[in-house]
Chains A and B, each alone.
Chain A
Amino acid sequence: MAYAIEMLNITKDFPGIRANDNVTIQVEANTVHALLGENGAGKSTIMSILFGLYQPTSGIIKVNGKEVHISNPNIANSLGIGMVHQHFKLVDCFTVTENIILGMEPKTKYGTVDIKKAAEKISKLSEKYGLNVDPYAKIENISVGMQQRVEILKMLYRNSDILIFDEPTAVLTPQEIHELMLIMRNLVKEGKTILLITHKLKEIKEVADHCTVLRKGKCIGTIDVKDTTERQMAEMMVGREVNFSVHKEKAQPKEVVLSIKNLNCNNFKGLRAVKDFSLDVRAGEIVGLAGIDGNGQTELVYAITGLAKSESGSIFLNGQDITNLPVKGRLDAGMAHVPEDRHKHGLVLDFPLKENFIIHCYKDRPFSVNHILQPQKIDEYADFLIKEFDVRSGQGKESKTRDMSGGNQQKAIIARELDRHAKLVIVVQPTRGLDVGAIEYIHSRIVAQRDAGAAVLLVSLELDEILNLSDKIAVIYDGQLSGYVNAEDTDENEIGLMMSGSIKKVGDCHE
């Protein structure tokens, strides 16, 4: 079998860290080759090297048997290598077409960009691979799933033969993931070779032929996917045994903590995003809110947490009407919130870790007295949280939060929010992009919070997470409640149907 890509003995040093240490990956043509590893294992780095964004410190790359030097993405492109990045590289205020043709624009005879011609070509490609994108839509107006398909189109537009996907499914709904898997298989059939980075073993099992496992920058080995179980792969990756299913007792629901009544809200464009939505969350239970991205989850969470105004309806927290309270008032009334976007909303990345811990309570004793901060108390508290929640960073509480890994940043937020012992805990996408080890830990903390008597509202796009963690599952479709069921009485299929609005099943939830 011929190798499409060979990366031999690649080493890559960043200041202070060796991200790849003598890694060798050989990819057979016309296969899907997966890369597996914990957060920070060096997966993105090695793929960026292949794509010409970084230069390896040492090592050789061969494409179709020929040694090459990929000093920039242009060379990668000309070698037929394309990449969908973990964080999409799309210009928000450009249209789909503009994003796709950027750098390879077709011209009219006047030297202007021939948008029309490009859009036509994109429509055709989109049809051929079943991608269904509108070439004239602006990126800022389309869903994440659609954005990803734009990224795929970018590669197809450039006739890439070797496609790199860096965690493509982290942001997709189950249906979208399923579609993506089909697309990938389709692509391979059409003669493409795919390199897939993912944390999800199930997906590897589903589409990949081979899988290379990385741990702490080192190559642990390459396996044949069909001969290996998920458990074995996970162990290779983490270096120890892992628990897959969350261990939890049966819920003991008590009084209603959060009560949403006939809520209506608009999104930032002024369109109705949440419609006549009602939901109760009780103390001692986890209610999972499932739904395809863009069906009103964000707006709902904003309305509950006070980040956006609601149009009508009301929200009660412990019987108190909080509909019109400001953010601070709601937090004080007993709400904790793990936001969806940890960089934008969750953390002040330029603060040292310890200052991020007190972002809610800096005005309270003992962290400040008469408006004066008390550094010693703050330090003590930071040390406590770091220990309690196992937050790891270079310089402990003094580390600049920006320098910490994504998983540990998330742990820091979880630590801060859960330690407030709030009556209501809203967690949105708590494990997005995290490795199984971190996920396991965070899930267990959420369950512990429930067991301590908190009401937990879990909003997630990952159905597995919802099914594993929730006691009750609410489904939102087009801003409306399309399902409210007990977790043990349902399955992935049924939830999927509710998420797509095909069936509606509200109210047969036993208390």
Chain B
Amino acid sequence: MNKKHSALKISLIAVVFGLLLGFLVVLITGRSPMDMLYAFIRSLTGYNLAKPDKPINLMYVFNWLLEAMPIILTGLSVGFAYRTGLFNIGGEGQFMVGSTAASFVALTINMPLVPHIILCLVVGMLAGALWGFIPGFLKAYHNINEVVVCIMLNYIGLFFSNYLVRTFLEIDPNTNARTVAFPITAVLPKVTDMTASQFNYGFVLVVLCLVMYWFILEKTTFGYSLRATGFNSEAARFAGMKVKRNTVYSMMIAGALSGAAGAIVVLGVFKYGRIFTLFDNYGFDGISVALVGAANAVGIALSGLLFALLKSGGNNLQLFNIPKEISQLIQAAIIFFVAIQYGVILMLNKFDGFKLKLKGGKKA
């Protein structure tokens, strides 16, 4: 394969194509593509090009970063499993049980701020890990396709969480559809009161997870054995690695990452235990993020930020009279262009070869 057309370059091309397509759709439907650009630039920089006299408003930037936090985590979750040869489509369920477990700790344990928050996060991650353990275990020891189990566990996670919350936690009497508010010790504090954005210290966990992801996979023996298992589990078995156990661990770690996403969202944004009506789709967003980010830490960070931009920018789009479905179309286009990168590389190579041949022909 030609190294020249590196993964990064391809991803960039995909992003540019995706955005171009978005512009085109906006143009065709008679809206202003400039407005679209403004919406994204506002999320990215806080600067409102439509009203240049207004000062920079960091709230939009913080909202963008806030949006990025959970999907980077679910992206890492999908990515981690992917690197071990597993498809974690169960992020949704892991997210919900993580959220619920964190709510339990938040509401039932009395502690000072920092340890309380940390305990909430840890327990959220453990619950996610448990939810990841089930498909991992069934895959490893019963040879059951993890995809089915994950899909089933998404629904089980939803209803089971609701059951636990309704049965064991104190329900908010005003609505009967959520718990009472968390004590202040269990709320992820905002990073700054400068803006109204809820951007909070959950980002520390996200950064930590990113670093750990990279470190574990690339730098530790454990990561080495997981990667070997992912690429060729038979060879890993031949080399004496505990392939089954690795499968279980890997799904547990993936689950923990999605669980972490659930925990930071519930502790930082909602601040009360939720009764879920529908999937939040963070798990599915994670699939896009992981795949576009080529399942490596830096890639996931970047693609998480990108998708968050499209989502929060997508909300902003509506302020500019552009339906937010446009941003969904752009997301789809970007994923699609990433999907066909292999073909694009081949074409580029062919093109290069063609150029070479032309040159050669002239020389001859």
Say yes or no: A349 contacts B232, CB within 8 Å: yes
Q: A355-B224, A362-B224, A362-B225 are in contact. Are A348 and B219 (CB under 8 A)?
A: no
* Among B224, B242, B349, residue most surrounded by chain A Cβ atoms (within 10 Å): B224
| Interface residue A339 (Cβ < 8 Å from any Cβ of B) | yes
Q: Quick one: which of A327, A332, A350, A373 contacts B238, CB cutoff 8 A?
A: A327
What interface size band does chain A fall in?
20 to 34
A70 to B235, CA, bound (A): 39
Contacts of B224 in A (CB 8 A): 355, 358, 362, 373
* Among A349, A362, A368, residue most surrounded by chain B Cβ atoms (within 10 Å): A362
A305 to B235, CA, bound (A): 13
Q: A15-B349, A351-B228, A372-B220 are in contact. Are A328 and B240 (CB under 8 A)?
A: yes
Contacts of B236 in A (CB 8 A): 348
**B3 nearest CB neighbor, chain A only:** A395
| Interface residue A146 (Cβ < 8 Å from any Cβ of B) | no
Contacts of A350 in B (CB 8 A): 231-232
- CB of A228, distance to nearest CB on chain B (Å): 37
Q: Quick one: which of A345, A346, A371 contacts B220, CB cutoff 8 A?
A: A371
- CB of B230, distance to nearest CB on chain A (Å): 9
Contacts of A330 in B (CB 8 A): 240
| Interface residue A102 (Cβ < 8 Å from any Cβ of B) | no
* Among B228, B232, B236, B239, residue most surrounded by chain A Cβ atoms (within 10 Å): B239
| Interface residue A359 (Cβ < 8 Å from any Cβ of B) | yes
Say yes or no: B228 contacts A359, CB within 8 Å: yes
- Kindly identify, within residues 209 to 242 of chain B, every residue whose CB is under 8 Å from any CB belonging to chain A: 219-222, 224-225, 227-228, 231-232, 234-242
| Interface residue A347 (Cβ < 8 Å from any Cβ of B) | yes
- CB of A411, distance to nearest CB on chain B (Å): 17
Contacts of A372 in B (CB 8 A): 219-221
- Kindly identify, within residues 145 to 196 of chain A, every residue whose CB is under 8 Å from any CB belonging to chain B: none
A351 to B227, CA, bound (A): 9
A439 to B231, CA, bound (A): 29
Contacts of A305 in B (CB 8 A): 238
Say yes or no: B235 contacts A326, CB within 8 Å: no
**B222 nearest CB neighbor, chain A only:** A371
Q: Quick one: which of B2, B221, B240, B241 contacts A368, CB cutoff 8 A?
A: B221
Say yes or no: B225 contacts A327, CB within 8 Å: no
A472 to B228, CA, bound (A): 37
Contacts of A371 in B (CB 8 A): 220-222
A372 to B237, CA, bound (A): 21
- CB of A303, distance to nearest CB on chain B (Å): 14
- CB of A317, distance to nearest CB on chain B (Å): 14
Interface string of A36-66 (1 = CB under 8 A from B): 0000000000000000000000000000000
What interface size band does chain B fall in?
20 to 34
Q: Quick one: which of B220, B228, B240 contacts A373, CB cutoff 8 A?
A: B220
**A378 nearest CB neighbor, chain B only:** B224
Contacts of B220 in A (CB 8 A): 368, 371-373
* Among A305, A307, A345, A355, residue most surrounded by chain B Cβ atoms (within 10 Å): A345
| Interface residue A331 (Cβ < 8 Å from any Cβ of B) | yes
Contacts of B115 in A (CB 8 A): none
| Interface residue A89 (Cβ < 8 Å from any Cβ of B) | no
Say yes or no: B349 contacts A363, CB within 8 Å: no
A373 to B240, CA, bound (A): 18
Q: Quick one: which of A306, A307, A351 contacts B231, CB cutoff 8 A?
A: A351
Contacts of A327 in B (CB 8 A): 237-240
Say yes or no: B235 contacts A15, CB within 8 Å: no
A350 to B220, CA, bound (A): 18
A306 to B241, CA, bound (A): 12
Interface string of A280-316 (1 = CB under 8 A from B): 0000000000000000000000000111000000000
- CB of B236, distance to nearest CB on chain A (Å): 7
A363 to B220, CA, bound (A): 9
Interface string of A332-345 (1 = CB under 8 A from B): 10000101000011
- CB of A242, distance to nearest CB on chain B (Å): 32
Q: A362-B221, A372-B219 are in contact. Are A339 and B231 (CB under 8 A)?
A: no
Contacts of B219 in A (CB 8 A): 372-373
| Interface residue A69 (Cβ < 8 Å from any Cβ of B) | no
| Interface residue A121 (Cβ < 8 Å from any Cβ of B) | no
| Interface residue B343 (Cβ < 8 Å from any Cβ of A) | no
Say yes or no: A337 contacts B349, CB within 8 Å: no
Contacts of B240 in A (CB 8 A): 306, 326-332, 360
Known: A327-B238, A350-B231, A368-B221. 10 other contacts (CB 8 A): A327-B237, A328-B241, A328-B242, A329-B240, A332-B240, A346-B235, A346-B238, A351-B231, A362-B221, A373-B220
Shortest beta-carbon contacts, A-B, top 10: A328-B240, A327-B240, A359-B239, A350-B231, A345-B238, A348-B232, A348-B231, A368-B221, A363-B221, A371-B221
Q: What are 15 A-B contacts with C-beta separation under 8 Å?
A: A307-B237, A326-B242, A327-B238, A337-B238, A344-B232, A346-B238, A348-B232, A359-B228, A359-B235, A362-B221, A368-B220, A372-B219, A372-B220, A372-B221, A373-B219
